[in-house]
């Protein structure tokens, strides 16, 4: 299935918000028991409620996701969708798997709770808002296993997304402002060593930033490590230990 016309930025934003919400909702044992693995049952009204989108925009977003093979509709009343690309047994679809910060996005409460989720406050229009969600998904895809750290250079982001460095910077600023990520500048090996990360020779090429995905490791972990102040203390302790050992 292809696109009949180029979607607007608002339609893409709606589609990406819906996609993130659906993937998080599908990561649920009750949904798995009811409709199958990587599947979920929902309604237009539930999606509208969670994301504060109009019914028309929900319809447009879902159509866009179906047209781009991100989801497959299995039922209509209620809506039943399968998230495509998550099943390793489907070789023609398999794209890998990343963990969404479900608790952070849904506000650390029951998914069925009748309140909008965090993404509902994210802008609904504009090129920068659209780019921000694209960058967010990219950062999730390169997040280090067992941490909330994503390491990627601007050059690599430009290559993967087709965006200019200016557009990427604006998108990242928006993600930071909406509490989805925080950013630290990599200046030398100690930045990475403070996180217990290996430092291969190519890691510092292009002076990448460290992007911390809010919520991936849970609230207590993020409170401990997701601030510049705490990071400064962490690196100071690391340096003191290093100096003492020498």
Q: What is the pLDDT at residue 245?
A: 36
How many of the other CB atoms lie within 10 Å of CB of 54? 12
Domain hosting 116: range is 9-121
Domain boundary among 101, 121, 141: 121
| Residue 179 and residue 158 in one domain | yes
Q: What is the pLDDT at residue 116?
A: 82
Compute the distance between CA of residue 13 and CA of residue 125 in angstroms, rounded to an integer: 7
| Residue 131 and residue 62 in one domain | no
Of the candidates 117, 228, 129, 127, which has an alpha carbon nearest to the alpha carbon of residue 172? 129
Domain-embedded: residue 105: yes
How high is the mean pLDDT of the chain? 79
Domain boundary among 61, 92, 121: 121
Number of domains in the chain: 2
| Residue 93 and residue 131 in one domain | no
| Residue 72 and residue 144 in one domain | no
Q: What is the pLDDT at residue 75?
A: 87
Task: Please check the confidence at residue 99 and state whether its pLDDT lies above 70.
Answer: yes
Q: What is the pLDDT at residue 229?
A: 47
Task: Please check the confidence at residue 89 and state whether its pLDDT lies above 70.
Answer: yes
| Residue 79 and residue 134 in one domain | no
Of the candidates 133, 140, 132, 238, which has an alpha carbon nearest to the alpha carbon of residue 195? 238
Strand order in the sheet with 149-152: 149-152, 209-213, 181-185
Domain-embedded: residue 3: no
Q: Give the list of residues 6+ apart from residue 68 with CB closer than 8 angstroms, or none.
A: 1, 3, 15
| Residue 60 and residue 109 in one domain | yes
Question: SS in 3 state form for the chain?
Answer: CCCCCCCCHHHHHHHHHHHHHHHHHHCCHHHHHHHCCCEEEECHHHHHHHHCCCHHHHHHHHHHHHHCCCEEEEECCCEEEEECCCCCCCCCCCCCCCCCCHHHHCCCCCCCCCCCCHHHHCCCCCHHHHHHHHHHHHHHHCECCCCCEEEECHHHHHHHHCCCHHHHHHHHHHHHHCCCEEEEECCCHHHHHCCCCCCCCCCCCCCCEEEEECCCCCHHHHHHHCCHHHHHHHHHHHHHHHHHHC
Task: Please check the confidence at residue 1 and state whether its pLDDT lies above 80.
Answer: no
Which one of 62-66, 96-100, 199-203 scores highest in mean pLDDT?
62-66
Residue pLDDT, tens place only, 135-187? 999 999 888 777 788 888 888 899 999 999 999 999 999 999 999 998 877 66
* Mean pLDDT of the region 227-240: 46
Residue pLDDT, tens place only, 56-82? 999 999 999 999 989 999 988 889 999
Provide the sign of the torsion angle of the four alpha carbons 47, 49, 51, 55, taken in this order. positive
pTM score of the predicted model? 0.79
Q: What is the pLDDT at residue 241?
A: 37
* Mean pLDDT of the region 189-202: 58
**Tokens 């997040």 appear where?**
143
Residue pLDDT, tens place only, 204-221? 555 567 888 888 764 444
Q: What is the pLDDT at residue 18?
A: 95
Model confidence band, residue 194 (pLDDT cutoffs 50, 70, 90): low
What number of residues does the chain have? 246
Residue pLDDT, tens place only, 3-54? 668 899 999 999 999 999 999 888 888 888 989 888 999 999 999 999 999 9
How many of the other CB atoms lie within 10 Å of CB of 211? 26
Q: What is the pLDDT at residue 227?
A: 45
Q: What is the pLDDT at residue 78?
A: 87
Compute the distance between CA of residue 215 and CA of residue 223 in angstroms, rounded to an integer: 10
């Amino acid at each position: 299935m292809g696109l009949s016309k180029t979607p607007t930025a608002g339609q893409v934003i709606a589609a990406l918000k819906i996609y993130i919400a659906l993937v998080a909702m599908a990561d649920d044992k009750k949904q798995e028991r009811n409709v199958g693995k990587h599947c979920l049952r929902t309604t237009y009204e539930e999606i509208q409620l969670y994301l504060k989108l109009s019914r028309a925009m929900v319809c447009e977003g879902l159509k866009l996701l179906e047209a781009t093979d991100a989801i497959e509709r299995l039922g209509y009343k209620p809506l039943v969708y399968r998230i495509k690309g998550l099943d390793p047994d489907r070789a023609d679809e398999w794209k890998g798997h990343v963990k969404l910060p479900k608790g952070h996005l849904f506000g650390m409460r029951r998914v069925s709770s009748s309140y909008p989720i965090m993404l509902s406050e994210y802008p609904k229009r504009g090129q920068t808002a659209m780019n921000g969600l694209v960058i967010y998904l990219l950062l999730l895809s390169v997040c280090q296993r067992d941490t909330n750290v994503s390491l990627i250079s601007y050059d690599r982001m430009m290559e993967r997304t087709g965006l200019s460095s200016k557009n990427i910077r604006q998108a990242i600023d928006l993600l930071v402002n909406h509490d989805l990520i925080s950013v630290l500048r990599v200046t030398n090996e100690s930045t990475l060593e403070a996180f217990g990360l290996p430092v291969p020779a190519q890691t510092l090429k292009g002076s990448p930033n460290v992007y911390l995905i809010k919520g991936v490791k849970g609230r207590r972990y993020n409170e401990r490590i997701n601030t510049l102040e705490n990071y400064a203390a962490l690196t100071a302790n690391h340096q003191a230990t290093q100096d003492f050992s020498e």
